[in-house]
């Protein structure tokens, strides 16, 4: 067992960078022991784990068997592990005209298969353990799809499908499964920050949604107030629009 000084534990996949880092810091500030998962950001993960008095763990989520084994390992190590936030993802460009098979395979493994199998393994841990929360980070593209980043979007739809199914089949009533669907938050793909400041305001409120808002939504869901199986959209209303292209390209073309 690992000493957590009485703090409940949370695993944040991709917890060293971008939105994952914001989620890690939010849980730590609320008194959680944060387990920072990383794939290729070892130095950043160790640094943030030290900063938050947490732990860091490596796993390549392309390997779903390894991801599932990581859950079993952590379950034995952290008896008061209560939450997993699956925020790690890959975001590579292909489109609806021609899907890239390599991009598709990687997206489905990292963005859908690994978090689904990790959630299943987590929910199978000690039946006498604490109440558990699975939080799957999806995307507002679930409700507002466009043909760009085709494989990525497919993978997030696949991940979203796991949420109600896992919720329905959870063995214990105290365990809950949720989704958080962010809008455009941070500069991505080949964007400059100046471009992101334009594209990320293409929503109903015409404002940038902060990574801290995603983090706070995850922390709130960790309390289990909602009925299991639900997804929160945190996107300043972007999912209520119908956008024919990703906002990266809409902004570049002067669209809205």
pLDDT digits (tens, 9 = 90+) for 180-220: 999 999 988 888 899 999 999 999 999 999 999 999 999 99
Asked if 36 and 55 count as a contact pair (C-beta separation under 8 A), the reply is: yes
Asked if 8 and 36 count as a contact pair (C-beta separation under 8 A), the reply is: no
According to CATH, the topology of domain 9-253 is: Rossmann fold (3.40.50)
pTM: 0.96
Q: At residue 5, does pLDDT exceed 90? A: no
**Residue owning tokens 């008095």:** 53
Asked if 203 and 237 count as a contact pair (C-beta separation under 8 A), the reply is: yes
Work out the average pLDDT over 91-118.
97
CA trace torsion 162, 165, 168, 171 (10° rounding) = -70
Mean pLDDT score of the chain: 96
Give burial (CB, 10 Å; 0-12/13-18/19+) of 230.
Answer: middle
**What percent of the chain is predicted at pLDDT more than 70?**
98
Q: pLDDT digit string (tens) for 106-139?
A: 999 999 999 999 999 999 999 999 999 999 999 9
Q: pLDDT digit string (tens) for 18-69?
A: 999 999 999 999 999 999 999 999 999 999 999 999 999 999 999 999 999 9
**Which residues partner with 243 through β-bridges?**
none
* Structure-token pair, residue 235: 């996107």
The secondary element (H helix, E strand) that includes residue 107 is helix 101-108
**194: Cβ contacts below 8 Å, ≥ 6 apart:** none
The DSSP symbol for 238 reads G
Query: In the prediction, which pLDDT does 190 show?
Result: 86
Residue 4: band (very low, low, confident or very high) from pLDDT cuts 50, 70, 90: confident
Q: At residue 256, does pLDDT exceed 70? A: no
Query: In the prediction, which pLDDT does 3 show?
Result: 65
Rounded Cα distance between 253 and 256, Å, is 9
Start-to-end CA distance of the chain, whole Å, equals 52
Rounded Cα distance between 196 and 240, Å, is 20
CA contacts within 13 A on the Cβ side of 154: 19
Q: At residue 149, does pLDDT exceed 80? A: yes
Q: pLDDT digit string (tens) for 226-250?
A: 999 999 999 999 999 999 999 999 9
Query: In the prediction, which pLDDT does 56 show?
Result: 98
**What percent of the chain is predicted at pLDDT more than 90?**
94
Work out the average pLDDT over 153-165.
98
Domain boundaries, the chain: 9-253
């Amino acid at each position: 067992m690992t000493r957590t000084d009485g703090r409940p534990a949370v695993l944040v996949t991709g917890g060293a960078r971008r939105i994952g880092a914001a989620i890690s810091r939010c849980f730590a500030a609320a008194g959680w022991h944060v387990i920072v998962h990383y794939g290729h950001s070892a130095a950043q993960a160790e640094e943030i784990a030290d900063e938050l008095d947490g732990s860091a763990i490596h796993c390549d989520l392309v390997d779903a068997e390894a991801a599932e084994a990581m859950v079993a390992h952590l379950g034995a190590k952290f008896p008061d592990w209560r939450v997993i936030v699956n925020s790690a993802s890959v975001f590579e460009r292909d489109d609806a005209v021609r899907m890239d098979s390599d991009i598709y395979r990687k997206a489905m493994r990292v963005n859908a298969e690994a978090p689904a199998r990790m959630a299943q393994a987590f929910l199978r841990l000690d039946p006498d353990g604490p109440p558990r929360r699975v939080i799957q980070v999806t995307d507002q593209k679930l409700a507002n799809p466009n043909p760009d980043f085709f494989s990525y979007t497919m993978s997030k739809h696949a991940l979203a499908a796991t949420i109600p199914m896992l919720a329905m089949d959870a063995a214990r009533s105290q365990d809950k499964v949720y989704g958080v669907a962010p809008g455009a938050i941070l500069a991505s793909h080949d964007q400059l920050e100046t471009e992101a400041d334009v594209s990320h305001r293409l929503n109903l409120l015409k404002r940038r949604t902060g990574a801290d808002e995603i983090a706070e939504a995850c922390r709130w869901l960790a309390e289990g107030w909602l009925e299991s199986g639900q997804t929160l959209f945190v996107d300043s209303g972007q999912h209520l629009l119908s956008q024919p292209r990703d906002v990266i390209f809409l902004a570049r073309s002067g669209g809205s």
